Chain A
């Protein structure tokens, strides 16, 4: 076995979820008929209860274009899309040198995230 290209491309959680859905993970309640392994179902379950379950390709594309003025690196953007921080405190560990690079506009970035991505059902439950 040979590894041709170790890093072929970044995948957001949403893209992996979409891939599993296209293989039929969502439609099969018995989990026997879909051509997926049990471990793939576990991944699917995990992703469903993460922030990725309510995202769409369009919302991610929209977020990427809108956050251009903030000059984030690609992996920071992917981290934000995956984690979906809902406050400035949550965004702090995701971005390096947050204060010196963004300063005031960190709040705006959080607003942008909240605006583009709807809150996952998990988070609204934990607020109660």
Chain B
């Protein structure tokens, strides 16, 4: 497994990939536009709150393909529309808003708590959402090697819960990665 990681490490050091470092960061603001229907029972609330609530239930804690895990609704830029289509009771709005997205970039260093280790590699509590109950206490720093967004499987696997976003990390480096207690 480590040899595989070393090969991948060399690929990362290819100068054409260095541009990736400048692009995105662990937390990122992304602007999205979405057309949503507001249920009639929400219409008594001020429109901002109702729309925000709807956006939160739609996007919060969900992985958006190739973007990352949505943490929070940052702000709402504009709400347009409010038309009611025939045969419906709910008005439809087009909303432009910003979300805080968690998406580490290739080459970024992340601190995480080690949750599980097996032959496939180390599976961190950070891979899908933030650490909730790490079984081992080791605080590890690793470099993000690759961020994968695997396809949603047709059948749920029993043994390993499906992770819509996988972050593959590497500990291979000149120094500074691995359990933090080694260096501090």
Contacts and interface: CB of A to CB of B under 8 A. Distances in A.
A43 interface: yes
Interface string A84-109: 01110111111010000000000000
Contacts of A3: 30-33, 64, 67
Given A19-B100, A39-B129, A73 B109 contact: no
Interface in B83-142: 96, 98, 100, 102, 105, 108-109, 111, 129-132, 139, 141
A111 to B, nearest CB: 16
Interface string B14-47: 0000100111111111111111000000000000
Contacts of A83: 109, 111, 141
Interface residues of A, number: 47
Contacts of B139: 126
Interface in B151-171: none
Contacts, number: 129
A113 to B, nearest CB: 13
Nearest to A86: B184
Interface in A1-42: 1-13, 15-16, 19-20, 23, 37, 39-40, 42
B74 A19 contact: yes
A60 interface: no
A92 B174 contact: yes
A123 B183 CA distance: 11
A8 B67 contact: no
B33 A37 contact: no
Contacts of A10: 24-25, 27-28
B175 A93 contact: yes
Given A37-B61, A127-B184, A5 B31 contact: yes
A127 B21 CA distance: 32
A8 B31 contact: yes
Contacts of B74: 19
Nearest to A123: B184
Contact of B60 (A2, A16, A40, A123): A40
A62 B170 CA distance: 32
Given A39-B61, A42-B130, A96 B21 contact: yes
Given A42-B129, A43-B130, A90 B183 contact: yes
Interface of B: 18, 21-35, 56, 60-61, 64, 67, 71-72, 74, 96, 98, 100, 102, 105, 108-109, 111, 129-132, 139, 141, 143, 173-177, 180-181, 183-184
13 contacts: A1-B33, A10-B27, A10-B28, A12-B27, A19-B100, A39-B71, A43-B72, A74-B22, A93-B109, A93-B143, A93-B175, A93-B176, A126-B180
